[in-house]
């Protein structure tokens, strides 16, 4: 087997896992629907930054702290759940807000921070990346080069999939607006966020 085969095998593996519906994908869909794809790019940028930071932390081995001290993972979980609950409730209340108004109210820095906060506070992302990445590391190859390649691939694949969801949300929302039911998608996304937050809070 080629020394780079593990790296090549990682691409379809991460792509299939990344594109499956999850918290970051639902957030991209929601903001693509409410703000349009162009404005949702700021949210996507924040999410990609967060996921890349988690991946870098996992590759450097710092996630071992989360294994040795599970209290840190619990803190991540509860802080993320509370933040997600707040976003879900806000999204439900703002479901009928005019899109143009939302575009004015949401500054780029705020959108980046929202995307980054959701990605970095998602305990599933930490658990997933710190268990997925180590088996793909080849000790025969330079660690620095592999780290750079893994982070680049994760960022590109995650960004591509988030764009798919944002564009899908935008198209579906336009269809619903034409039928006079523009708030439906926003409320579905809000309910999903609230449901995930409640699950995190009550799960052990």
Per the CB < 8 A criterion, the answer to whether 175 and 73 are in contact is no
Residue keyed to tokens 């930071």: 53
pLDDT at 100: 43
Residue 103: predicted pLDDT = 47
pTM: 0.78
> d(Cα 165, Cα 145) in Å, to the nearest integer?
31
Average pLDDT on 79-97 reads 73
Say which residue the tokens 């449901």 belong to.
195
pLDDT of 106: 67
pLDDT at residue 44 tops 70:
yes
DSSP structure class, residue 136: G
pLDDT of residue 143: 80
- Higher pLDDT: 112 or 146? It is 112
Neighbours of 198 (CB within 10 A): 14
Does position 104 have pLDDT exceeding 60, yes or no? no
Kindly state the tokens that stand for 72. 């840190």
Q: What is the pLDDT of residues 50-65, one digit of tens each?
A: 999 999 888 877 656 6
Torsion of CA 57, 43, 121, 193, to 10 degrees: -150
> Of the candidates 120, 112, 123, 119, which has an alpha carbon nearest to the alpha carbon of residue 67?
123
pLDDT bin (cut points 50, 70, 90) of residue 101 is very low
Say what percent of the chain tops pLDDT 70.
79
């Amino acid at each position: 087997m080629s020394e780079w085969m593990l790296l090549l095998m990682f691409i379809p593996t991460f792509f299939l896992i990344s594109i499956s519906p999850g918290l970051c994908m639902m957030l991209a869909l929601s903001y693509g629907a409410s703000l349009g794809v162009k404005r949702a790019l700021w949210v996507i940028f924040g999410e990609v930054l967060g996921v890349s930071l988690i991946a870098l932390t996992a590759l450097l081995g710092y996630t071992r702290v989360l294994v040795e001290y599970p209290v840190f993972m619990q803190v991540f979980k509860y802080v993320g759940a509370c933040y997600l609950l707040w976003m879900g409730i806000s999204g439900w209340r703002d479901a009928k807000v005019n899109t143009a108004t939302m575009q004015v109210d949401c500054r780029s820095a705020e959108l980046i921070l929202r995307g980054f906060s959701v990605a970095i506070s998602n305990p599933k992302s930490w658990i997933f990346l710190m268990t997925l990445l180590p088996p793909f590391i080849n000790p025969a190859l330079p660690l620095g080069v592999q780290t750079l390649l893994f982070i680049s691939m994760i960022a590109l694949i995650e960004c591509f999939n988030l764009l798919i969801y944002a564009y899908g949300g935008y198209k579906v929302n336009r269809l619903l607006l034409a039928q006079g039911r523009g708030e439906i998608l926003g409320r579905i996304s809000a309910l999903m966020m609230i449901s995930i937050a409640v699950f995190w809070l009550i799960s052990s």
